[in-house]
Amino acid sequence: MNPSRAHETLFHVFGYTGFRGPQEAIVEHVAAGGDALVLMPTGGGKSLCYQIPALLRPGVAIVVSPLIALMQDQVSALKEVGVAADFLNSTLSFDRAMEIERAMLAGALDLLYVAPERLVTPRFLDLLDHLNEAGQLALFAIDEAHCVSQWGHDFRPEYLQLSILQERYPQIPRIALTATADAQTRHEIAERLRLQDAREFVSSFDRPNIRYTIVPKDNPRAQLLAFIRDGHLGEAGIVYCSSRKKVDETAAWLIEKGIAALPYHAGMNTEERAANQDRFLREDGIVMVATVAFGMGIDKPDVRFVAHLDLPRSIEGYYQETGRAGRDGLPAEAWMAYSVADLVQQRRFIDQGEAGAEVKRVATAKLDALLGLCETTGCRRQRLLGYFDEAAEPCGNCDTCLHPPQVRDATESARKALSCVFRTGSRFGAGHIVDVLTGKATDKVKEWQHDQVSTFGIGTELDDKGWRTLIRQLVAHGALAVDHERYGALTLTESARPLLRGEAAFTMRLDVVAPKKGRNVGSA
Ligand code: ADP
Ligand code: ZN
């Protein structure tokens, strides 16, 4: 095909003078009939990658989209620039849906957005058959393709049925698009949507304007408030919490402290949720306190910070959620407070879930990778991008680059901690182990006669907090495991062996509170 037609469409229809990044290559590939798997960060410009081929190829392009709001936004934007686009979803009356179907069959539509559950109905497939026979199917675009992944929290079972497109219409080009790009998800998309032979287009996932900071949880609310007051007062932000209760409590508390906060979670009724979302989008400086139910399809360019009071489930989750900050390209911050208690809770969710052993194994591995990001002494961005197989230099715009963490050799201390866990029978949590190491003869210590074990009181080199930090890092390192079936009891793993035998060294990262940015943050 003639590439200048793509440029012409880009300019005359959308008013843009040039393609961004890989857009042009994608457009040409799909317009020429090729299949594509597009991995591009949020805000990267995925829509044009199928909208322009839709206009260049004869017939109608079918766009599968998981969210009604997303469809409506896209369609009205397209209509505004004069493109014949429409959508079919459950919000339409029967008559209106009929009308759209007729328009599509008559060749009057360039793009039709449709929900996945609708697409796979016999009725809709029948329509597609007609179009196909008439040579009037331009392409299939599958937006938010990571919804096919069972590991992610956006999983939509109906997406699994989309493989039918390849079986039924093998000649029609398909393009799947997502902003989630770890190897596992990529592989799943390719396999489940039968896109193994599709060309992959992977953009850089770096969001250079986002500054990453991850702090150990101490007094999380006060830490959050200090973070907001330190440069984000009056700015729009999102605070993610893991439970509805915590969302409500945190929002109420922030309001009490004078922050314009609103709650959002799936337990609220639809009107309340819609009203809060609306205020967040329209008013300035609202802080949305939310569960992960909030976010997908929210296109607010000036979100200045995303804070996590609880660990997400994976690096992809973290990346997607933090990616909602700074879509306008201006400086933004991603801030997270985390603790081993979070980790224990997440592992409990995984282990107690209904999923099979393999699913649990993958979920645990994803959580471990996230923990690695939290505990790294190197550049956070490098680690984050490395997870998506993207190489990067230390960024100079994350907490570890800006305030390199102090590290110390803690091999000896690590051995003490590990052997203390062992000597006390691998059945106690961190608090008790620290008491034994630091020689505190608490009732529990006496009851178990742990003041008699050889590791009692040998940990003079660190204080309580230091030992807790070390234990947390041993968990992150994998030398200690947390057994939540037994109330967070610490147990040794295989990786503890080389440490105990003196065959491996252990470097500990000291917890330091990052210096303030020069403003008095006031009291919490
Ligand atoms: P994504 O779906 O990847 O999050 P969008 O397709 O919504 O991103 O595009 C993000 C923004 O970038 C939109 O406002 C879009 O109009 C704009 N955009 C996309 N491609 C270009 C381009 N080639 N030139 C200028 N603006 C673009
Ligand atoms: Zn960095």
Does the beta carbon of 327 sit less than 6 angstroms from any atom of ligand 1? no
Task: Give the model's pLDDT for residue 484.
Answer: 64
Whose C-alpha lies nearest to ligand 1, atom 2?
A: 46
pLDDT tens digit sequence for 78-107: 999 999 999 998 889 999 999 999 999 999
349-388 burial, b if ≥16 CB within 10 A, otherwise e?
ebeeeeeeeeebebbeebbbbbbbbbbbeebbbbbbbbbb
pLDDT tens digit sequence for 100-127: 999 999 999 999 999 999 999 999 999 9
Whose C-alpha lies nearest to ligand 1, atom 18?
A: 45
CA of 319 to the centre of ligand 2 (A): 15
Whose C-alpha lies nearest to ligand 1, atom 15?
A: 45
Q: Which ligand is nearest to the CA of 323?
A: 1
How many other CB atoms are found less than 10 A from the CB of residue 329?
11
Question: Which of 28, 48, 205, when mutated, tests ligand 1's pocket best, judged by the most ligand atoms within 8 Å of its CB?
Answer: 48
Taking the CA atoms of residue 187, residue 189, residue 195 and residue 200 in that order, the dihedral angle to the nearest 10 degrees is -70
Does the beta carbon of 21 sit less than 6 angstroms from any atom of ligand 1? no
Q: Which ligand is nearest to the CA of 377?
A: 2
Residues 6+ apart with CB under 8 A from 212: 322, 333, 334, 380, 381, 384, 397, 398, 399
Cα–Cα distance, 390 to 516 (Å, whole number): 31
Of 355, 358, 367, 381, residue with least CA distance to 312: 367
Whether residue 510 contacts residue 465, with contact meaning beta carbons closer than 8 Å, is answered with no
Does the beta carbon of 442 sit less than 6 angstroms from any atom of ligand 1? no
Higher pLDDT: 277 or 1? It is 277
DSSP SS3 for 476: helix
Closest ligand 1 atom to 19 CA: 23
- Asked if pLDDT for residue 366 goes beyond 80, the answer is yes
Provide the ipTM: 0.97
Whose C-alpha lies nearest to ligand 1, atom 5?
A: 45
Judged by average pLDDT, the poorest of 58-67, 150-159, 380-389, 489-498 is: 150-159
Judged by average pLDDT, the poorest of 107-116, 195-204, 328-337, 366-375 is: 366-375
Q: Residue 445: enclosing H or E segment and its boundaries? A: helix 443-447
Q: Residue 380: enclosing H or E segment and its boundaries? A: helix 380-387
Cα–Cα distance, 17 to 14 (Å, whole number): 9
Of 239, 326, 235, residue with least CA distance to 284: 235
Cα distance from N-terminal residue to C-terminal residue, the chain: 62
Highest mean pLDDT: which of 24-33, 179-188, 498-507?
A: 24-33
3-state helix, strand and coil shares in percent for the chain, rounded to the nearest 5: 45, 15, 40
Whose C-alpha lies nearest to ligand 1, atom 16?
A: 45
DSSP state of 488: T
- Asked if pLDDT for residue 520 goes beyond 50, the answer is no
DSSP SS3 for 36: strand
Whether residue 79 contacts residue 11, with contact meaning beta carbons closer than 8 Å, is answered with no
pLDDT tens digit sequence for 315-346: 988 998 999 999 888 999 999 999 877 877 78
CA of 44 to the centre of ligand 1 (A): 6
Residue linked to tokens 């990001």: 373
- Asked if pLDDT for residue 3 goes beyond 70, the answer is no
Closest ligand 1 atom to 41 CA: 3
- Asked if pLDDT for residue 274 goes beyond 80, the answer is yes
In order of 154, 211, 359, the CA distances from 324 in angstroms are: 15, 13, 27
Whether residue 414 contacts residue 479, with contact meaning beta carbons closer than 8 Å, is answered with yes
Whose C-alpha lies nearest to ligand 1, atom 25?
A: 16
In order of 161, 313, 314, 362, 484, the CA distances from 356 in angstroms are: 21, 17, 18, 10, 18
Does the beta carbon of 424 sit less than 6 angstroms from any atom of ligand 1? no
CA of 21 to the centre of ligand 1 (A): 11
Question: Which of 9, 16, 144, when mutated, tests ligand 1's pocket best, judged by the most ligand atoms within 8 Å of its CB?
Answer: 16
User: Can you spell out the DSSP letters for 175-231?
Assistant: EEEES---HHHHHHHHHHTT-TTSEEEE-----TTEEEEEEE-SSHHHHHHHHHHTT
